[in-house]
């Protein structure tokens, strides 16, 4: 019979694993609530908001690039783009290098809203950092960088 009791290291790892999972789920939930709040504030669906956030400093994006960044089908991007075009937030132009490719860029209104969104996000993250002492900020950022790298490594092992 294999009645080995888990040793304290196994128990600790099990506890830590569950705690990590719970914390990541809580953080994701908080991020989803923030996205939902901003979606209501900007009066656009969450998918369109996430797309708008992709532009940042980018002048143009392609439907394929947006699909990859949002991890959705290209047909879904078409629906999102149609909504943003209808709201006069983005416009589509032909790529001068390849007529088969459409370049998607922000309109003036899209740029204004994108900047407003960027300012809100910057303010939000600064407020979050101000909850920590300066030394804690460095540690939190460092730990998050390690976590992100570890998550990428584990993801690559799954493929």
Distance between CA atoms of residues 79 and 62, nearest Å? 14
Q: pLDDT tens, position by position, for the chain (159 residues)? A: 556 666 888 899 999 999 999 999 999 999 999 999 999 999 999 999 999 999 988 899 999 999 999 999 989 999 999 999 999 999 999 888 888 888 999 999 999 999 999 999 999 999 999 999 999 999 999 999 999 999 999 999 997
Q: What's the confidence (pLDDT) of residue 7?
A: 83
Assigned domain for 1 exists:
no
Give the total number of structural domains in the chain.
1
Assigned domain for 27 exists:
yes
Range of the domain at 18: 11-158
SS3 sequence of 27-73: HHHHHHHHHHHHHHHHCCCHHHHHHHHHHCCCCEEEHHHHHHHHCCC
Assigned domain for 2 exists:
no
Assigned domain for 4 exists:
no
Q: What's the confidence (pLDDT) of residue 5?
A: 67
Domain at 152, CATH number: 1.10.10.10
């Amino acid at each position: 019979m294999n009645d080995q009791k888990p040793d304290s290291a196994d128990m600790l790892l099990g506890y830590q694993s569950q705690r990590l999972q719970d914390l990541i789920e809580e953080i994701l939930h908080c991020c989803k609530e923030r996205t939902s709040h901003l979606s209501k504030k900007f009066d656009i669906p969450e998918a369109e908001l996430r797309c708008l956030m992709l532009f940042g400093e980018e002048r143009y994006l392609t439907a394929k690039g947006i699909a990859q960044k949002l991890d959705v089908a290209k047909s879904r991007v078409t629906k999102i783009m149609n909504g943003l075009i209808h709201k006069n937030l983005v416009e589509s132009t032909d790529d001068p290098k390849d007529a088969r490719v459409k370049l998607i860029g922000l309109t003036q209104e899209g740029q204004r809203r994108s900047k407003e969104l960027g300012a809100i996000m910057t303010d939000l993250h600064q407020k979050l950092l101000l909850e920590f002492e300066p030394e804690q900020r460095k540690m939190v950022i460092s730990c998050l960088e390690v976590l992100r790298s570890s998550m990428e490594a584990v993801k690559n092992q799954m493929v």
